[in-house]
């Protein structure tokens, strides 16, 4: 199978998710109908084997994840994706692997109403780059909009994915129940697209948690020129995480573990009820974990007010 057969067989079927693709896979570039009312939103993320996912991770999960991490970025802006491109570097052509990979990719794309419209296929160490193009109806949520007095809210629960990643590395099979849930949180991040779009008109600022909660909040504070104060005891932890690793490690993973793909929102107190209402409507838990104040950086305190900020607040590629 040469690369053109491969593209035709595995990737062409993924462009049918939308009817507004004028020229899709097969020509020199993709062309889509675009309505000028929406601002154009573009994001790209690369997953490298051995860096972003373990070498033996199942192909469908790699495909799913490559889209999901981009959907999470769109969620953090309050944007809606429409089209995707895929730059795929493969060590060899393995039909079974490609079949499963395309299936995972398709599941995530179709769930987000997004069509694959093009890409590039090359030989080399396994690397998956997905780019999303979409629109936003109104002003985006940015990292720069947080203001003193804003409440800091986070969706879902934190730390599960990091614990799941540890389980993947362990030789032992994860115990039934909780272990599977933690693995799922790492392997199949959901992205909070609906929540992001629902909160966009009300929130001052947002970011998705990919590096680690405190590190990502620090990005918002740096962009906004404010300081984030987080109450450690308020950070939401799942029962599965607490059962698997105990409270101390659960907190450590939640504050700095990364790969959560939850949303952090900075919301003025006057908009809190509306935002909580939207979260309820889209059935995503939202927890208040702190406040924006005058200053810079991020600080984490325990319930008694003592500074318990960990030295390492998230993942860095070039530490
Ligand atoms: P070119 O030489 O013009 O760059 P390519 O041979 O790279 O074209 O690709 C041929 C067509 O297949 C193009 O339309 C491209 O967008 C599409 N394509 C290539 N690789 C992928 C992929 N992994 N997923 C989706 N479409 C792809
Ligand atoms: Mg090319």
- Residue 118 CB–ligand 1 contact under 6 Å: yes
Q: Is 177 in the pocket of ligand 1 (CB under 6 A)?
A: no
Question: Which segments of the chain does DSSP mark as H helices, in order?
Answer: 3-6, 59-77, 95-111, 160-169, 178-187, 193-199, 213-224, 239-256, 272-281
Which pLDDT belongs to residue 316? 64
| Gap from CA of 226 to ligand 1 centroid (Å) | 44
Distance CA 262, CA 292 (A): 19
Q: How many contiguous H segments (helices) and E segments (strands) does the chain have? A: 9, 12
- Cβ neighbours for 45, distance < 8 A, ≥ 6 positions apart: 66, 69, 70, 73, 129, 130
Structure-block tokens of residue 40: 């154009």
Is the beta carbon of 13 within 6 A of some atom in ligand 1? no
Please give the Cα distance from 24 to 31 (Å, whole number). 7
214 backbone dihedrals φ, ψ, rounded to 5° = -70, -40
Ligand 1 near 89 CB (within 6 A): no
Q: Is the CB of 109 under 6 A from ligand 1?
A: no
Q: If you write DSSP's letter for every residue of 187-248 in order, what string do you get? A: HS----HHHHHHHTTT-SEEEE-SS-HHHHHHHHHHHHT-EEEEEGGGS---HHHHHHHHHH
Q: Give per-residue burial for 135-169: e unless 16+ CB within 10 Å, then b.
A: bbeeebbbbebbeeebbbbbbbbbbbbbbbbbbee
Nearest CA to ligand 1 atom 21: 119
Residue partners of 250: CB distance under 8 A and separation at least 6: 159, 163, 237, 241, 242
Q: Nearest ligand to the C-alpha of residue 27? A: 1
Q: What phi-psi label fits residue 157: left (phi over 0), alpha (psi between -120 and 50 degrees) or beta?
A: beta
DSSP 138: S
CB 114 within 8 A of CB 82: yes
Nearest atom in ligand 1 to 121's CA: 20
Q: Tell me if 25 CB under 6 Å of ligand 1.
A: yes
**Per-position pLDDT tens, the chain of length 319:** 888 899 999 999 998 888 889 999 999 999 998 877 789 999 999 999 998 888 888 999 999 999 999 999 999 999 999 999 999 999 999 999 999 999 999 999 999 999 999 999 999 999 999 999 999 989 999 999 999 999 999 999 999 999 998 887 664 454 555 688 898 898 899 889 999 999 999 999 999 999 999 999 999 999 999 999 999 999 999 999 999 999 999 999 999 999 999 999 999 999 999 999 999 999 999 999 999 999 999 999 999 999 999 988 776 665 5
Containing 85, the helix (H) or strand (E) segment is strand 80-90
Cβ–ligand 1 contact at 96 (below 6 Å): no
- Separation CA 149–CA 11 (nearest Å): 48
Of all protein residues, the one whose alpha carbon is nearest to atom 20 of ligand 1 is: 120
Check if the beta carbon of residue 68 is closer than 8 Å to that of residue 81: no
Strand pairing category for 80-90 and 115-123 = parallel
Distance CA 147, CA 293 (A): 7
Residue of 44, 99, 117, 120 with the most ligand 1 atoms within 8 Å of its CB, for mutation? 120
Protein residue with least CA distance to atom 22, ligand 1: 119
């Amino acid at each position: 199978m040469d690369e053109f057969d491969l593209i035709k067989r595995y990737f062409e079927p993924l462009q049918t998710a939308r009817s507004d693709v004028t020229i899709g896979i097969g020509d020199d570039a993709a062309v889509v109908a675009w309505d000028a009312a929406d601002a154009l939103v573009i994001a790209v993320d690369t997953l490298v084997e051995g860096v972003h996912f373990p070498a033996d991770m199942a192909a469908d999960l790699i495909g799913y994840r490559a889209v999901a991490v981009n959907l999470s970025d769109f969620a953090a802006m309050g944007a809606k994706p429409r089209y995707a491109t895929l730059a795929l570097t493969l060590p060899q052509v393995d039909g079974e692997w490609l079949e499963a990979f395309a299936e995972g990719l398709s599941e995530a794309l179709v769930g987000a109403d997004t069509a694959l419209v093009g890409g590039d296929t090359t030989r080399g160490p396994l690397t998956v780059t997905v780019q999303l193009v979409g629109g936003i109806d109104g002003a985006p949520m940015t990292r720069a909009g947080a203001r003193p007095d804003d409440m800091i809210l986070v969706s879902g629960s934190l730390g599960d994915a990091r614990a799941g990643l540890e389980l993947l590395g362990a030789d032992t099979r994860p115990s039934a129940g909780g272990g599977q849930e933690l693995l799922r949180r790492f392997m199949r991040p959901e992205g909070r697209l609906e929540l992001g779009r629902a909160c966009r008109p009300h929130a001052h600022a947002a970011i998705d948690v990919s590096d680690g909660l405190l590190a990502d909040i620090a990005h918002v504070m740096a962009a906004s020129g404010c300081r984030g104060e987080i109450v450690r005891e308020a950070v939401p932890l799942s029962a599965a995480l607490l059962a698997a690793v105990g409270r101390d490690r659960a907190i450590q993973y939640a504050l700095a573990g990364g790969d959560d793909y939850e949303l952090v929102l900075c919301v003025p107190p006057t908009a809190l009820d509306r935002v909580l209402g939207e979260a309820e409507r889209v059935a995503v838990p939202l927890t208040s974990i702190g406040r924006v104040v005058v200053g810079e950086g991020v600080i984490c305190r325990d319930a008694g007010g003592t500074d318990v900020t960990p030295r390492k607040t998230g993942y860095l590629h070039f530490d």
